[in-house]
Structure 1
Amino acid sequence: MTETPVELVHYAVADDVATITLDSPHNRNALSRRLVTELTAALERAGADDSATVVVVRAAGRVFCSGADLSEAAAGSMEEGALAIVALQRLVLTLPKPVVVRLHGAVRAGGIGLVAAADVVVAADDATFALTEVKLGLAPAAISLTVLPRMTSRAAALTALSGEVFSGAEAASYGLVTTAVPAAELDAELDRVVASLATGAPQGLRETKALLTRDLVEHLDARGPEVAALSARLFGSDEAREAMTAFLSRKR
């Protein structure tokens, strides 16, 4: 008898809020093909769910999202994966409801694209961020379409070129997240923000969000294939493959 795979993304609705939870502990909520597929399905479900006015994306465990699944990336072409990340960001941007990210713990590389695509991000001030691609001979190509427009140009240059860790408080000052609060206050602040958003009428929320995200969506549509091809080229390079292999061997 074949066992049903454990779902990596959970969906629940209560009090006008659809909550989507990333729960893939074996790879620290990395954006594996399966997680992206399940997350896409959950977002589409939330968009069509008449009982939900606001969508919250959160994560189980200590890590919000560790970025691309490097074990998959090291095993084959990444162009399809990069296009899926572009499509995921587009889905968040075009969902007809506000998408709020509750951000605790660590978020790295590709996971920051999901954060940047969201409408509102409530982070713990001790959450940690890093655009680590540069350390592996890569570039934040697929996520650049949302991350770079959100951040100030100076902050983007510092964080993307150094690959170093920065805090939730710094992410707020850089424009990447909406607000950063002490970890003990994270859920209270999330509830406050969500309750405020939920007072909006569905048509008002839908049309206002479309105005806010229009330029980002146009930018993503125009540049998506180009950055996906760049991502695939970099992931397929000898330099990146050697760096990813070394990184994965250190984790074992």
Structure 2
Amino acid sequence: MTGRDPLVRRTRARGVQTLTLDAPARRNALSAALVADLADALADCARDPGVRAVLLTHTGTTFSAGADLTDPPDPDALVALLRQIVELPRPVVARVTGHVRAGGLGLLAACDLAAASHRATFAFTETRIGVAPAVVSLTVLPRADPRALARYYLTGERFDAAEAVRTGLLTAAGDDVDAVLDPVLDGLRRSAPEALAATKRLLTAKVLETFDRDAADLTALSARLFSSPHAREGMTAFLERRDPAWVV
């Protein structure tokens, strides 16, 4: 028992297990607690033959704001969570109706399919707080267009759902995300579970190669950058709602 309310809610309909990130006051930031709760929920999905697919969604106006700066997860735990999504023998579909920032984009890119409403916005904000999108690159770099990533990784600019589709971070976008997802979920329900698992393994093989090759180095890079003077200044400035000292 954790002695606290769970940060991931679970519901099921016709074989689709919905996991809802439920820490809206903290913008569903990836805290140690939220990462642990999501990992537990995914493990239960993997063991349950009644789960045909997983739908990952959120409460509030933000899918995930990235790492929780006041209760950050252990980098190894975050890497393990991202790999768990990629390796899960069920398709994982992201349903986004709000904003996605930094580490939240790593979570989004770990999913097999992702759809968002046109209200959603996206940004790799790491450089603006003095770090780099290191761990999230394990899922983002194999999925997305390199030229687009160069711009958004380096500048931290926001971009919209249409641009996220163009870059490969999203599968589809629309005014009504549920209307976009209805045929996707129907298709998964009509597909044989063993065939879905085998097909997912084909699609994720290159992503898992990236984990095998780069996870240790990127985790070490993340830890080093987060302990740097620039990161301390960037995170302090973020929490104080001011520009960091390097802004000119």
- TM-score, with length taken from structure 1: 0.93
Aligned to 1:218: 209
1:249 aligned onto 2:240? yes
The CA distance in 1 between the partners of 2:2 and 2:147, in whole Å, is 50
The CA distance in 2 between the partners of 1:11 and 1:158, in whole Å, is 37
Cα 1:190–1:226 shift into 2, 3 Å: same
Residue 137 of structure 2 is aligned with which of 144, 147, 170? 144
Q: What is the Cα deviation at residue 191 of structure 1?
A: 2.0
Aligned to 2:43: 44
Tell me which amino acid in the other structure corresponds to 2:180.
E
Structure 2 matches for 1:5-24, cutoff 5 A? Answer: 5-24=4-23
Question: Residues 145-178 of structure 1: CA distance to partner in whole angstroms, max 9, x if unpaired?
Answer: 1111211111010110010100111100111110
Does the CA-based 8 Å contact 1:126-1:169 persist in structure 2?
A: no
Dislocated runs of 4+, deviation >3 Å? none
Between the aligned residues of both structures, percent identity stands at 47
Residue 129 of structure 1 is aligned with which of 122, 139, 159? 122
The CA distance in 1 between the partners of 2:67 and 2:42, in whole Å, is 19
Tell me which amino acid in the other structure corresponds to 1:222.
R
- TM-score, with length taken from structure 2: 0.94
SS in 1 for 2:10: strand
Q: What is the Cα deviation at residue 88 of structure 1?
A: 1.0
SS in 2 for 1:72: coil
Question: Residues 90-128 of structure 1: CA distance to partner in whole angstroms, max 9, x if unpaired?
Answer: 111100010000011101000100100100001112310
Aligned to 1:236: 227
Structure 2 matches for 1:97-136, cutoff 5 A? Answer: 97-136=90-129
SS in 2 for 1:10: strand
SS in 1 for 2:51: coil
Aligned to 2:245: none
Question: Residues 56-108 of structure 1: CA distance to partner in whole angstroms, max 9, x if unpaired?
Answer: 000011111010001235xxxxxx72221211111111000100000111010
The CA distance in 2 between the partners of 1:191 and 1:8, in whole Å, is 26
Tell me which amino acid in the other structure corresponds to 1:110.
G
Does the CA-based 8 Å contact 2:28-2:62 persist in structure 1?
A: yes
> Number of residues paired by the alignment?
242
The CA distance in 1 between the partners of 2:160 and 2:121, in whole Å, is 5
The CA distance in 1 between the partners of 2:215 and 2:3, in whole Å, is 34
For structure 2, the residue ranges without an aligned partner over 5 or more in a row are 243-248
Tell me which amino acid in the other structure corresponds to 1:47.
A
Aligned to 2:146: 153
Aligned to 1:54: 53
Tell me which amino acid in the other structure corresponds to 1:103.
V
The CA distance in 1 between the partners of 2:238 and 2:115, in whole Å, is 30
